[in-house]
Structure 1
Amino acid sequence: MSSSTDDRRFEILRAIVTDYVDTQEPIGSKALVERHQLGVSSATVRNDMAVLEAEGYIAQPHTSSGRIPTDKGYRTFVDRISEIKPLSAAERRAILSVLDNSVDLDDVLRRSVKLLAQLTRQVAVIQYPVLSTARVRHLEVVSLTPSRLLLVVITDTGRVEQRMVNLAAELSDDHFTLVRDMFSAALDGQRLEDASAAVAELANSAPPELHAVVITIATVLVETLVERGEDRLVLGGTSNLTRSAADFSQSMGGMDIVLDALEEQVVVLKLLAHTQRTGQVTVQIGEETNTENLRNTSVVSTGYGASGTVFGSVGVVGPTRMDYPGTIASVATVAKYVGEILADR
């Protein structure tokens, strides 16, 4: 087959994908000829559609004479999206104004998910920053009373953890200053996975009279630093699935099994695990999700972070019949701004 024939058939496939996403109706050759300047006769369009169907790019649902794209058809369409279509300046300003007003990490993630769900009209999901990539930006030790301390750990991913420490005996001002400086020096700038080892080491080097105090503080800190925070997700826009109820065939369990899958954090984390880089959007279509309950869905995701470090993943889940160019652009833009905002905090 000549490349010009290939290109023409791809244009017909693209027209079928675009029209089907817009109308939810199977597309016939007559409609294609009327709606698109394809520059060929309707007989050629019918012939090309027959070839596309034979090769598995489109299929005929039994109820109609029109055709709909298959997972293979969507995959080819997505692979030929050469570059991410930029959002308009107004859309970018709107995203920034929503995210800029956020007060802390939880708020940034909640707002991001809500915004992404609104932009794409799909289910949006974001992963909390993965701890193993984070560093301690600062440790603050505050003396509430001579025998009660507050520890505040701030990471470069924007996470703030606070813990109370009750000491067995009162701590003098001089000893408090010494302990505070010891822990700050050991932790500041350390990767979290190295930080807990550094803290444990302090117990060995502490002056004898502070040994018990240092062990008490170190125990609380180590628990804080090794908590598995990366298994937390924020989901938004699950009600958007009801708009697409017709896309989830009852023979495959309908929409309920999709909702069940989304409630399983492990399933969603596995889907997001494909996304290990920032600036590169991954699209998993239908069977490619390797998840029985999600065979009628697609997942569009990317990493968010700053200066080459991925903090976590963000994406959307929706029916395979989705606006891929628009969804890819929205996911990429929201990820970019979330990374920038967390890096500035």
Structure 2
Amino acid sequence: MVSDRGLQVLRAIVQDYVDTHEPVGSRSIVERHSFGVSAATIRNDMALLEDEELIAQPHTSSGRVPTDKGYRVFVDHLAELRPLSSAQRSAIASFLGDPADLDDLLARTVRLLTQLTGQVALVQYPSFARASVTHVQLVPLDGRRVLVIIVTDTGRVSQRITGLADELDAESIERVAARLVPLLAGRSVADAAEQLQRGAELAAAPVSAVDRALHRIAQAAAEELDEFRQNRLVLAGSATLAKREQDFRGSIHPLLEAIEEQVTLLRLMSEMVADEQGLSASIGRENAAFGLSEASIVASEYDSAVGAARIGIMGPTRMDYPRNLAAARAVARYLTRLLDEDEGRR
């Protein structure tokens, strides 16, 4: 059982190690923090923390550094998060203001988080399986190409150019649209996708040019709706890993592979347990099952019309947890507000 002063000493060690990247000794703690006790007393506290495997001595005659377990205890006992400055809050409002669409908003979000934290930023797309299709339009581009536009009630817009087997005039495209739109409009994304998959008229062998066009356009629409339902990540700041490579105990290649694959990061973020504020952290060896024991991820939930998703920050275990959690929470709250306002306008 760690005493209250022991937790304060642990907090000092974490803060000083994050700031200096140097092992922390008892004398420096006495000099930098107002504990009102001697260096010998601090050494006793550090010995108890070492017995609890919360800190470790990397080299003989050196100071102490936090362990993964120590970072976990530090995060679990955070009394408050470091507040963002007024300039940082203004930057959030300015950077995220007036996005073109959801894709643009989330792309801006990860770029902003990377600028605020200097770490890799990740944002989950909300799942649009429960969203409803509100608009379907076919726009002829030329005789053999059609732009398929699908819009949902959440503002998600899909545009895909589809090639046709036969050359069709505008009237024929309108006939295709008249058969396709009732299968999609007013249905949930999941239901619309199922309608396309099991629709009897689409399953039949196409015999006319209009049938063949309907079949091909329906396939394209089904692929777009399937993408709506899949979990996706937007990422930024991968280059920061190379800049911070010395902060990692081992290779950064598993992190680079996870960024490229995305599936691992999606699984990890979906399994993180949030506190009552919607904040969560997964630290070092807690990520071993995902091959990411060299990294920590902190996250905050944001809300959209179709459900909650997460904003995350990934970096070395030696990260500024209070600042990164505060940044994730502030950006998540602003993102939620923007999405609420956008929903209210529709």
TM-score range, shorter chain: 0.7 to 0.9
The answer as to whether partners of 1:299 and 1:317 remain within 8 angstroms in 2 is yes
Name the structure 2 match of 1:124. 121
Q: Deviations over 1:123-179 (max 9, x none)?
A: 112334434344324322335568864320123263423243637575775x86676
Q: Distance in 2 between matches of 1:327 and 1:72?
A: 19
Q: Contact 2:123–2:234 at 8 Å: present in 1 too?
A: yes
Deviates more, 1:264-273 or 1:44-53: 264-273
Secondary structure at the counterpart of residue 34 of structure 2: coil
Question: Are positions 1:218 and 2:223 aligned together?
Answer: no
For the structure 1 residues 35 and 127, does the alpha-carbon distance in structure 2 shift closer, same or farther, using more than 3 Å as the test? same
1:184 deviates by 4.2
Spell out, residue by residue over 1:27-66, the C-alpha distance to the aligned partner (whole angstroms, 9 max, x if none): 1111111111113333221111111111111111115421
Residue of structure 2 in register with 1:13 after alignment: 10
Q: Is the 8 A contact 1:129 1:230 kept in 2?
A: no
- Equivalent of residue 302 in structure 1, options 288, 291, 300: 300
CA shift at 1:100, angstroms? 1.9
| TM-score, length of structure 1 as denominator length | 0.82
Kept after mapping to 1: 8 A contact 2:132/2:189? yes
The offset of 1:258, in angstroms, is 3.4
> How far is 1:316 from its partner?
1.4
Point out where structure 2 has 5 or more consecutive residues left out of the alignment: 203-207
Query: 1:320 Cα shift?
Result: 0.6
For 1:189 and 1:88, the matched residues in 2 are separated by: 45
Distance 1:215 1:73, change over 3 A: same
Q: 1:282 to 1:176 in 2, by over 3 A?
A: same
Query: Where do residues 166-315 of structure 1 align in structure 2 (5 Å cutoff)?
Result: 166=164, 168=166, 170=168, 173=171, 180=177, 183-199=180-196, 204=201, 214-227=214-227, 230=230, 232-249=232-249, 252=250, 254-275=251-272, 280-291=278-289, 293-307=291-305, 309-310=307-308, 312-315=309-312
8 A Cα contact 1:126 1:235, kept in partner: yes
Specify the alignment match of 1:72 in structure 2: 69
C-alpha distance in structure 1 between counterparts of 2:213 and 2:253, whole Å: 53
Residue 23 (structure 1) aligns with: 20
2-structure distance, mates of 1:290, 1:162: 40
Q: 1:307 to 1:70 in 2, by over 3 A?
A: same
Matched residue type, 2:51: A
For residues 202-229 of structure 1, the C-alpha deviation after alignment (integer angstroms, 9 at most, x for no partner) is: 6559xxx986665454333223222477
TM-score (norm 2): 0.81
Shift of residue 297, structure 1, vs aligned partner: 1.4
Q: Structure 1 residues 160, 244: closer, same or farther in 2, change over 3 A?
A: same
Q: Find out whether 1:81 has 2:78 as its counterpart.
A: yes
Q: Secondary structure at the match of 1:295?
A: coil
**Residue 49 of structure 1: aligned partner:** 46
In the TM superposition, what whole-angstrom CA distance separates every residue of 1:97-119 from its partner, at most 9, and x where no partner exists? 11224334443232222211111
Counterpart CA distance in 1 for 2:299 and 2:247 is 21
Moved more, 217-226 or 28-37: 217-226
* Structure 1 spans left out of the alignment, 5+ residues: none
Q: Which amino acid aligns with 1:193?
A: A
SS in structure 1 at match of 2:29: helix
Contact 1:203–1:214 (CA under 8 A) maintained in structure 2:
no
Kindly indicate whether residue 89 of structure 2 is the aligned counterpart of residue 92 of structure 1.
Answer: yes
Distance in 2 of aligned mates of 1:29 and 1:337: 41
Distance 1:167 1:202, change over 3 A: farther
Give yes or no for contact 1:192–1:225 (8 Å, CA) kept in 2: yes
Q: d(CA) in 2 for partners of 1:309 and 1:166? A: 37
Write the deviation string for residues 217-249 of structure 1: whole angstroms up to 9, x where unpaired. Answer: 433322322247736433322222234332222
- In the TM superposition, 1:28-39 aligns within 5 A as 28-39=25-36
Q: Distance in 1 between matches of 2:306 and 2:229?
A: 21
The one-letter code sitting in structure 1 at the alignment partner of 2:45 is D
Does structure 2 conserve the Cα–Cα contact (< 8 Å) formed by 1:297 and 1:317?
A: yes
On the 8 A contact 1:57/1:73 being kept in 2, the answer is: yes
Deviation at 1:21, TM superposition (A): 0.8
1:52-91 CA-partner distances (Å, limit 9, x unpaired): 1111111111154211111111101111124555434432
User: Could you tell me the percent identity over the aligned residues?
Assistant: 42
Aligned residues: 336
Question: Is residue 276–residue 303 contact of structure 1 (8 Å, CA) maintained in 2?
Answer: no
